[in-house]
Amino acid sequence: MRWFLVAIIAYVLVLLKNVFAPGGLAVMVDGHPAQPDLLLALGLFLAIYFPPREVFVAGWFLGLVSDLVSVAGRLGLKALLFCLVLYLVSHLRGNLPRQRALVQFAAALLTVFVVHMAWHLATAVVGGAWPPVLGSAEAALLDALYTAFLAPYLVWILLLMRSPLGISAAMAGRE
């Protein structure tokens, strides 16, 4: 993995995060502004193309950046969740047809839902409140859907940079 390039991409995605802020391109559903988690989508891309240990480290730093740019929640929570979930995805990916948009969609949907749900519940528990399970699930699902719709496009853009990122043609499924 080319760490410097990944850091630059992460920085650009953090800047893009504001584009999807409420009032911008966030989709209001039932009072909840659904926003895509682009940093997690980047982490997922790394998880399906790079070895688990590198993914773990990258996931940790992406989570920390996500923690730092958000205004709420405990610092370090997303770092922990990102690295653990992405490490797991990287281990379980097996022989998935990762170049298929549907697979990317499903993987993004599941990963973002799990991470966001865990984050909502953990934040509520740490804050001393009874976790609002249904509300959290709805918010997590909306964010996951939005991310999943954008994930194939993000993967396509990132695959255009496969050689600078250090992904071989075989890895990218373009033999």
Partner 1 sequence: MVFLARRSRRTAAHRGTWQRVLFAALPFVALGLLVMPQSAADRLRLWVSPVFSPLQNRTEAAALDIANRMRQAGPTSPEAEVAALRQDMQALENALAEATGRLNQQENVIRDLARIRQDLDGLPCRLTPARLLAPEVAGGQAAARLSEGSGKGVRRGGAVIVRRIDRGARDAIERGEPVLVAAGLVGIVDEVGPTTSTVRLTTDPRTSLMVQIVTRRDGQWRAGPEGIARGSDDGTAITVQGISRTADVTIGDFVVTSASPESSLPPYLIVGRVAQCDLPPAALFHSLVVEPRASAADAREVYVLAPELPPPPARPPARR
Site of interaction with partner 1 (CB under 8 A): 11, 14-21, 23-25, 53-54, 56-57, 60, 63-64, 67-69, 71-72, 74-77, 79-80, 83-84, 126
Q: How far is the CB of 17 from partner 1 (least distance, A)?
A: 8
Closest-CA residue to 5 (of 119, 147, 167): 167
Q: How far is the CB of 102 from partner 1 (least distance, A)?
A: 27
Find the Cα–Cα–Cα–Cα dihedral 141, 142, 145, 148, rounded to 10°: -90
Confirm if 73 and 136 have CB atoms less than 8 A apart: no
Q: How far is the CB of 123 from partner 1 (least distance, A)?
A: 10
Cβ nearer to partner 1, comparing 45 with 60: 60
Cβ nearer to partner 1, comparing 54 with 109: 54
Cα 44 vs. chain centroid, distance in angstroms? 6
Q: How far is the CB of 96 from partner 1 (least distance, A)?
A: 23
Mapped onto helix, strand or coil, the DSSP state of residue 29 is strand
Tell me how far apart the alpha carbons of residues 40 and 20 are, in angstroms, rounded to a whole number.
15
Cβ nearer to partner 1, comparing 69 with 157: 69
Cβ nearer to partner 1, comparing 25 with 121: 25
User: What is the residue whose two structure tokens read 């409420």?
Assistant: 22
